[in-house]
Amino acid sequence: MIILERSALTGDPRRTVRRLELTMMWLWSGEPDCDLDTRQDLLGRLGLVSLSIEQLVLRHECSPDIPIDLEMLTISDLEIDDLSSWWPDLVRSEPR
C-alpha cells in the first residue's frame, strides 16, 4: 500500500476530503495492531469519524457550490491521522 500523504488544510479542501475518504476505506479494510480492548475503542472512533467523512463527501457531491465545512474537515483529518498510526500497513512497519 502506498502511504497516503497528508495534504495541508490550507490547500484544496476537495483533495483533503478525497484523501480522507480513501484513508477511511483503507482503515476499514484492515485491522489495527493492538489488544482487544483498544481495538474496540479504535473501531468505535473509526465508525464515528467515518460518518463525518461520508457527510463531507455527500455534501460535496450533491452541492459542490456550497463550501466544505472546514471545521469538520480539520477534526476529521486529525482523527484519521491519529487512528491511522494504529494500522501498521498504512504508516509503519513495527508494531506499537
Q: What is the pLDDT of residues 24-68, one digit of tens each?
A: 999 999 999 899 999 999 999 999 999 999 999 999 899 989 899
Q: What is the 3-state secondary structure (H, E, C) of 43-91?
A: HHHHHHHHHHHHHHHHHHHHCCCCCCCHHHHHHHHHHHHHHHCCCHHHH
- Of the pLDDT bands very low, low, confident and very high (cuts 50, 70, 90), residue 11 is confident
Q: What is the CA radius of gyration of the chain?
A: 14
Q: How far apart are CA 82 and CA 91, in angstroms?
A: 11
C-alpha cell at 1: 500500500
Please give the model's pTM, rounded to 2 decimal places: 0.79
* pLDDT at res. 10: 59
Residue 1 has pLDDT above 60, yes or no: no
**Domain assignments of the chain as residue spans, ordered by start:** 34-89
| DSSP-assigned letter for residue 7 | P
